[in-house]
Every structure is written in structure tokens, then in C-alpha cells.
A = this chain, B = another copy of it.
């Protein structure tokens, strides 16, 4: 167990700095204790926190301390900065101190010297002798053999950014809804939450839009339903129609699901399937009669998983199960909410927001879409608890099914 005490000062609560520091500590697997916290009483007072950080070993702790410095946290115990002379043009000594873009000071000869030109991802060069010391950042391609470069963590402290004055500092966070992160861990975490919910007898709600079928996720979703991972389904006429069309005729919006080629029919396939389901009277009746033999809706009927098909003014048909009265549909959704612990929202803005309207904030909500804007929109509507994952629905559902049913 390795331990270090850090401190941070400034507008650390209202600028989110303290929250980010604590989050970074936990994310790294380390733990913390707040040993001294003085919160500024008013908008203009600054705050101060001392935090003991504990990690399993020194390497993890050291890496974490580097990251925390990006947020403005410094070690309390500070000794003189150590320098080393560069031996090659364009190359730093191996243990060089890599800078943030925050205002920075370096402790040399017992005095803190301000770095002249803060810039991220640089080294720090120390020029001059005692009494005339200057410290400045230098990018790697400009270091020259013979330059004195700060190495290691000692004797370098940073200052968190000033909060800009006044209201309306419409800041945004380094949002986790970026599409550039590996998705495998996120999917594994969603699987764990679903597994935990089922283990505890809690319910899992699936909310899905028609793109879940277009992108080929139908068979995997049917498997999830069949194997008992889904407790209820909120969707609309489009999802159900495309699911039924793809299973009855092998097409989705007239395009072959298996090969992408419009082999067997055309633009009218979905209306024809709706018409036949209307003739049977309900999806369940069409399943019973053997007209529908696979797919998500089939799996729901067979497994007794309740579904709410909420109508929309853009619906074709609609299917006999689609509730054309949207107030009644929202009420039907409310009936299903008790007991839900996890909600999984796939490729739907309309049904995600509608579901967000009727869910308590305590429900763990995961919103998956290829489009980042959908996720932002859900939070804008008040469902702050939603966690966004930007990826292709097909790959998400395939991997989730692999985790849960593999």
C-alpha cells in the first residue's frame, strides 16, 4: 500500500475540480480520505482540500499523482526539483517531468520559480544560475544536448484555473460520451448491472427504436428475451413492424437483412405484414397461428414478456397492438415501471425521452446510440441519471449478448 497527501486550492467545488479529482482517484482503483477541507463560504471565497490518497503500489500511485496534477492537485510534501542534463538534441532525459497547461512553479534553491510559458506535454528547462534562475517549457523537438531538464515529480506544483467571473460560465466537462473510447469495458459493465439486477429479482427494461432492427441486432435481442434477461419492452410500431417483417419476409424496409440486397419484395413489404397481423387480430394471435415464427416480438409473446407499443403520428398501419392513444400508452408504460432497476435504451430518441419522463432517477439508465446528440438530448430533458454510450447498435447488442448468454 502506497500513500501520499495532496492538496488543492481555489474554486474547487463550483469549478468541479474537487469532483474530478475524487473521480480520478476512484477510477484508478485507488482510495482517498479527506483530511482537511475548508469550503469557501461565498462565491468569491476560495476553498482548500487536503486529501490522503492510497493505492496498491507505488507505480499506480505515481501515475495517479501525475494525472491529478492535470486537475491542479499538488503533493503536500515538496522537496527541491531534480534536474538532469539532456544528452541528445531533440530527446529529453528518460524521467523528464511532462507538463500540464496550468500555471506552474518549480522549487529550485529553496525558491518557487514560475514557469514562463505554460504549455501541455512539454519538458521544463532550467536556465541560469542561482539568483538568476529562469524556468520555461520546451517541446521535445527543441531541446538541445546540454539543457538542464526537470525530471520526476519533486518540486513542481501547479495552480488550478481561475473560475471566470459571473454567471453563465457555460462550461462543459470532458464528457464520457465521446465516440473514441474502447467500448468493451462499458459493455461489460452494463452486463454486470443487468446480471446483478436479475440476481436480486429486479426488473430490466428494454427500450428500442427501429434502427435496432435495421442494424441487424434483432436476433441478438430475441436471444436476450428468450434467455430471460429482459423483463419488459417499450417500443413503437416501427420496431415491431420491422422485426415482424424481417422474420416473416426476411426483409427490413424491403432490404434483405441477411445480405443487404432487396431480393424478395419491396417498399410495400412492411404494409403487407401489418395488414396480415391486423387480419390475425394481434401479434400474439399471429404467433399462435404460426404466421410469426421468430424475432423479438415472437420471443416476447413466447416468454410472456410484456411490451408496450406506443403509437406515433408517423406510423404506417398500425399494428393492432400499437396503442394509438399516446396518453394511454404512457399510462401503460407507467404500469410497468415498478420494480425496474436497469433501463437499456437502444437507438431511439422518442421512446427514450418518453421512458425518461416516467422513470424515477434511481433507475440505472444506459442510452446507446450511434449519434451523440441523442444522449445529450435525454439529459437536457431531465434524465440526468442516463449514461451515454456512442456506438453502433449492432455491435453493442452482439457483445452484450455474448457477455450474458455466451
Contact residues of A between 366 and 386, Cβ < 8 Å to B = 370-373, 375-377, 379-380, 382-385
User: Which residues from B are CB-within-8-Å of A177?
Assistant: 172, 376
Contact call A34/B29, Cβ cutoff below 8 A = no
Q: Oligomeric state, in number of copies?
A: 4
A255/B23 contact (C-beta < 8 A), A37-B37, A103-B360, A362-B161 known: no
- Asked whether any CB of chain B lies closer than 8 Å to the CB of A314, the reply is yes
- Asked whether any CB of chain B lies closer than 8 Å to the CB of A344, the reply is no
Contact call A142/B331, Cβ cutoff below 8 A = yes
- Asked whether any CB of chain B lies closer than 8 Å to the CB of A66, the reply is yes
- Asked whether any CB of chain B lies closer than 8 Å to the CB of A315, the reply is yes
A272 to chain B, nearest CB (A): 7
User: Which residues from B are CB-within-8-Å of A186?
Assistant: 168, 170, 260
Contact call B275/A350, Cβ cutoff below 8 A = no
Contact call A383/B101, Cβ cutoff below 8 A = yes
User: Which residues from B are CB-within-8-Å of A185?
Assistant: 168, 259-261
> What mask results when residues 342 to 363 of chain A are scored 1 for a CB within 8 Å of chain B, else 0?
0000000111011001111110
Contact call A354/B318, Cβ cutoff below 8 A = no
Contact call A382/B278, Cβ cutoff below 8 A = no
User: Which residues from B are CB-within-8-Å of A117?
Assistant: 334, 337-338, 360
> What mask results when residues 160 to 176 of chain A are scored 1 for a CB within 8 Å of chain B, else 0?
01101011111111111
- Asked whether any CB of chain B lies closer than 8 Å to the CB of A42, the reply is yes
